[in-house]
């Protein structure tokens, strides 16, 4: 058997695995100690009651001969696509909106749209899944360096496809209108498609929430969103993305052919749950949840700045990106914090080789854990001064 040897090159998977293994081993050998995590990329709130009830009813419908749905539309149930259009994308038709089962797979699957010889550009650092999708699917990619403020530089050479993530995981930085406009001008000039991962869009208060707010974006951008982060669908799984007809007259013909042959639609139950997130009471609750996470982020930002760390992000995003003191590596700080403080952080190099001296902190955890972690770091800093 000849395997896809590229799979063995998925180093970032290894790093995540290694960090998780080290945390597990630490916990196993110290069963009575409390390890607190600032590394959590998952959310802490459960799904809302109204969403739960909608899904319970959907399960009952599937168990009843009269209401059983069987396979649904490949592109998502019409009511959900309509709700997404009406609430989020009033200037699009529902034919341009696709419902799916998670952005992690969507941002990789979309590469099937492009010819095998395209060159993909990936900012460094960013969500490692883009690079891993290129590696797994044998697509050529090159990394795009960032400036000193972790904003990727618009390239001078040609790329066919470029991933942008805003707010970016791990840096917690979201692009401004002007920064995005530069990318859009580049993409239109180069006939390049921007794959815009926007899963943290609900955290944006002051900046650009959707790339389509920027002039010209419909001509060159595919935007990806998920119910994972704001509606706690990390376990339920439901996402969506927009492929504008303006991008290319044939693009949706190609993608529909791909989709009906490669995908049988997202789960009916999760889609009904996602639909319920657009109800007023749920929207209000979800806004409160986001506020809770954002308060955590403000608390973390202030605490690390007060401790003298150089901090990025955390304003319109649930992540903070922090420079390690004394230029030590993120892995070394990860080890010290885990073994001496029992606090988990994420080493920056997991997100790109330009990020070895940084670490990521998440505001998606419980407030009390975040406070506890900061108290431990304060005590540690005093001791090691």
Q: Give residues in contact with ligand PLP (CB under 6 A).
A: 41, 102-104, 127, 165, 169, 197, 199, 226, 228, 234, 239
Nearest in space to 119 (alpha carbons), one of 140, 133, 102, 101: 140
Q: Smallest distance, Å, CB 14 to ligand PLP?
A: 18
100 in helix, strand or coil?
strand
**Alpha-carbon Rg of the chain, whole angstroms?**
21
Nearer to ligand PLP, 10 or 341 (CB): 10
Neighbours of 100 (CB within 10 A): 24
Q: Smallest distance, Å, CB 197 to ligand PLP?
A: 5
End-to-end CA distance of the chain: 57
Nearer to ligand PLP, 132 or 228 (CB): 228
Q: Smallest distance, Å, CB 12 to ligand PLP?
A: 13
What tokens were used for 10? Answer: 């998925």
What angle, rounded to 10 degrees, do the helices at 280-306 and 49-62 form? 130
Q: Smallest distance, Å, CB 240 to ligand PLP?
A: 10
DSSP string, 305-359: HHTT--EEE-SSSSEEEEEPGGG--HHHHHHHIIIII-EE-EEGGGG-GGGTTEE
Peptide bond into 125 cis (omega under 30): yes
Nearer to ligand PLP, 127 or 337 (CB): 127
Nearer to ligand PLP, 345 or 377 (CB): 345
CA pair distance 144, 38, nearest whole angstrom: 28
CA pair distance 343, 258, nearest whole angstrom: 45
Nearer to ligand PLP, 16 or 278 (CB): 16
CA-to-CA separations, 291 to 18, 268, 281, 295, in angstroms, rounded: 32, 30, 16, 6
Q: Smallest distance, Å, CB 233 to ligand PLP?
A: 7
Q: Smallest distance, Å, CB 223 to ligand PLP?
A: 12
Nearer to ligand PLP, 44 or 248 (CB): 44
Q: Smallest distance, Å, CB 381 to ligand PLP?
A: 29
CA pair distance 333, 345, nearest whole angstrom: 8
Nearer to ligand PLP, 293 or 342 (CB): 293
Q: Smallest distance, Å, CB 228 to ligand PLP?
A: 3
Nearer to ligand PLP, 128 or 244 (CB): 128
């Amino acid at each position: 058997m000849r395997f896809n040897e590229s799979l063995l090159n998925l180093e970032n998977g290894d790093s995540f695995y290694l960090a998780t293994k080290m945390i597990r081993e630490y916990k196993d050998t110290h069963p009575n100690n409390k390890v607190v995590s600032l590394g959590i990329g998952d959310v802490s709130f459960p799904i809302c009651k109204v969403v739960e009830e909608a899904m319970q009813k959907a399960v009952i419908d599937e168990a009843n001969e009269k209401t059983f749905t069987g396979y649904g539309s490949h592109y998502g149930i019409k009511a959900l696509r309509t709700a997404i259009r009406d609430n989020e994308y009033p200037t699009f038709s529902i034919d341009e909106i696709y419902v799916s089962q998670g952005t992690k797979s969507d941002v990789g699957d979309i590469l099937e749209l492009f010819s095998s010889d395209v060159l993909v550009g990936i900012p460094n650092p960013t969500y490692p899944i883009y690079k891993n999708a290129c590696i797994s699917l044998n697509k050529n990619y090159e990394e795009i360096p960032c400036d000193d403020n972790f904003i990727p530089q618009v390239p001078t050479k040609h790329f066919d496809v470029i991933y942008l993530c805003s707010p970016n995981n791990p840096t917690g930085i979201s692009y401004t209108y002007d920064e995005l406009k530069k990318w859009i001008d580049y993409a239109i000039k180069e006939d390049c498609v921007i794959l815009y991962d926007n899963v943290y869009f609900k955290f944006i208060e002051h900046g650009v929430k959707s790339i389509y707010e920027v002039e010209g974006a419909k001509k060159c951008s595919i935007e990806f969103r998920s119910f994972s982060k704001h509606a706690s669908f990390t376990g339920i799984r439901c996402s969506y993305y927009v492929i504008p007809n303006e991008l290319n007259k044939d693009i949706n013909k190609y993608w529909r052919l791909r989709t009906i042959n490669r995908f049988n639609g997202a789960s009916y139950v999760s889609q009904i749950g996602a639909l319920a997130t657009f109800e007023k009471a749920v929207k209000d609750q979800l806004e409160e949840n986001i506020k809770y996470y954002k308060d955590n982020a403000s608390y973390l930002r202030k605490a690390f700045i007060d401790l003298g760390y150089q901090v990025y992000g955390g304003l319109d995003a649930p992540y903070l990106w922090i420079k390690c003191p004394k230029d030590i590596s993120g892995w070394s700080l990860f080890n010290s914090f885990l073994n001496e403080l029992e606090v988990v952080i994420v080493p920056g190099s997991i997100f790109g080789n330009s990020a070895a001296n940084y670490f990521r902190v998440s505001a998606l955890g419980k407030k009390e854990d975040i406070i506890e972690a900061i108290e431990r770091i304060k005590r540690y800093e005093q001791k090691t001064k």
